[in-house]
Amino acid sequence: MVRTLRFVLGDQLTRSVSSLSDINPASDVVLMVEVAAEATSVRHHKQKIAFLFSGMRHFAETLRREGIEVDYVTLDDAANTQSFGGELARAMMRHGPETVVMTEPGEWRVLQMMQDWRETLPVPLHIREDDRFLCSRAAFSQWAAGRKQYRMEFFYRDMRKKTGFLMAGDAPEGGQWNFDPENRKALPRDHRPPVRQRFEPDAITREVLALVASRFGDHFGDLEPFGWAVTRAGALEALEHFIMDCLPMFGDFQDAMKTGQDFLYHAAISPYLNAGLLTAHEVCARAEAAYRAGHAPINAVEGFIRQVLGWREFVRGLYWHEMPEYAETNHLDATRPLPWFYWSGETEMACMRECIRATRQHAYAHHIQRLMVTGNFALLAGIAPREIEEWYLAVYADAYEWVELPNVHGMVMHADGGLLGSKPYAASGAYINRMSDYCAGCAYDPSIKLGPKACPFNYLYWNFLIENETKLARNPRMAMPYRTLKAMDETRRNEIHSEAQSFLDNLANKLI
Ligand code: FAD
Ligand code: DLZ
Ligand code: SF4
> What atom of ligand 3 comes closest to residue 349's alpha carbon?
7
Say yes or no: 184 and 314 in one domain.
yes
Residue type, 184: R
The SS3 assignment for 183 reads coil
127 Cβ neighbours under 8 A, 6+ residues apart: 102, 103, 104, 111, 114, 115
State whether the beta carbon of 444 lies less than 6 angstroms from ligand 3.
yes
Beta carbons of 355 and 347 less than 8 angstroms apart: no
How close is the Cα of 96 to the center of ligand 2, in Å?
24
Domain end position, chosen among 322, 349, 373? 322
CA atoms of 172 and 309, how far apart (whole Å): 14
Which residue puts its alpha carbon closest to atom 2 of ligand 3? 455
Helix axes 232-245, 280-292, angle to 10 degrees: 30
From residue 241, give the alpha-carbon distance in Å to each of 101, 227, 237, 277, 368: 36, 14, 6, 15, 21
Domain end position, chosen among 292, 322, 352? 322
- Please give the residue that has the higher pLDDT: either 5 or 186: 5
State whether the beta carbon of 322 lies less than 6 angstroms from ligand 2.
no
The pLDDT value recorded for residue 421 is 93
Mean pLDDT, residues 1-6 taken together: 90
Which residue puts its alpha carbon closest to atom 8 of ligand 3? 429
The pLDDT value recorded for residue 472 is 97
What is the number of structural domains in the chain? 3
Percentage of residues in the chain having pLDDT higher than 90: 95
Residue 445 has pLDDT above 90, yes or no: yes
For CA atoms 407, 389, 144, 470, give the dihedral sign: positive
Residue 347, in any domain of the structure: yes
Q: How far apart are the first and last CA of the chain?
A: 63
Residue 347's domain comprises: 341-505
The pLDDT value recorded for residue 511 is 63
Say yes or no: 273 and 354 in one domain.
no
Nearest to 38 by CA among 104, 93, 110, 99: 110
Mean pLDDT, residues 294-313 taken together: 97
- Ligand 2 site-directed mutation target among 11, 51, 277, most atoms within 8 Å of CB: 11
Kindly give the residue spans of alpha helices, DSSP state H, lying in 293-384: 298-305, 313-322, 341-344, 350-362, 367-368, 376-381
Residue 113, in any domain of the structure: yes
CA atoms of 239 and 37, how far apart (whole Å): 31
Q: Which helix (H) or strand (E) holds 5?
A: strand 4-7
Say yes or no: 400 and 477 in one domain.
yes
CA atoms of 23 and 14, how far apart (whole Å): 13
Residue 330, in any domain of the structure: no
State whether the beta carbon of 429 lies less than 6 angstroms from ligand 3.
yes
Say yes or no: 24 and 108 in one domain.
yes
Residue 223, in any domain of the structure: no
Please work out, in degrees rounded to the nearest 5, the angle formed at the alpha carbon of residue 212 by the alpha carbons of 391 and 354.
Answer: 40
Say yes or no: 407 and 294 in one domain.
no
CA atoms of 410 and 421, how far apart (whole Å): 7
Nearest to 49 by CA among 488, 422, 289, 395: 395
Domain end position, chosen among 104, 128, 152? 128
29 strand-pairing partners: 5, 69
Residue 332, in any domain of the structure: no
CATH code where residue 104 lies: 3.40.50.620
Q: Assess whether the previous peptide bond of 193 is cis (omega < 30° from 0).
A: no
Residue 305 has pLDDT above 80, yes or no: yes
- Please give the residue that has the higher pLDDT: either 186 or 341: 341
State whether the beta carbon of 351 lies less than 6 angstroms from ligand 3.
yes
**Whose atoms come closest to the Cα of 308: which ligand?**
1
Residue 257, in any domain of the structure: yes
The pLDDT value recorded for residue 63 is 98
CATH code where residue 278 lies: 1.25.40.80
Q: What is the pTM of this model?
A: 0.97
- Ligand 3 site-directed mutation target among 376, 444, 453, most atoms within 8 Å of CB: 444
φ/ψ region of 346 (left if φ > 0, alpha if ψ in -120 to 50, else beta) reads beta
**Whose atoms come closest to the Cα of 458: which ligand?**
3
Say yes or no: 237 and 353 in one domain.
no
The SS3 assignment for 473 reads coil
CATH code where residue 407 lies: 1.10.579.10
Nearest to 397 by CA among 365, 422, 356: 365
Residue 329, in any domain of the structure: no
Residue 1 has pLDDT above 90, yes or no: no
CA atoms of 45 and 217, how far apart (whole Å): 10
CA atoms of 132 and 347, how far apart (whole Å): 41
Say yes or no: 292 and 359 in one domain.
no
Mean pLDDT, residues 25-35 taken together: 98
State whether the beta carbon of 496 lies less than 6 angstroms from ligand 2.
no
Percentage of residues in the chain having pLDDT higher than 70: 99
CA atoms of 376 and 7, how far apart (whole Å): 39
**How far is Cα of residue 388 from the mean position of the Cα atoms in its chain?**
13
Q: Are strands 29-33 and 125-128 parallel, antiparallel or unpaired?
A: unpaired
Say yes or no: 493 and 376 in one domain.
yes
Q: Assess whether the previous peptide bond of 271 is cis (omega < 30° from 0).
A: no
Mean pLDDT, residues 83-88 taken together: 98
Say yes or no: 104 and 164 in one domain.
no
Residue 222, in any domain of the structure: no
User: pLDDT-derived band of residue 426, with 50, 70 and 90 as boundaries?
Assistant: very high
Residue 105 has pLDDT above 80, yes or no: yes
Maximum C-alpha span of the chain: 80
Which residue puts its alpha carbon closest to atom 6 of ligand 3? 439
Residue type, 99: T
Average pLDDT for the chain: 96
Say yes or no: 424 and 312 in one domain.
no
Say yes or no: 161 and 281 in one domain.
yes
Say yes or no: 189 and 86 in one domain.
no
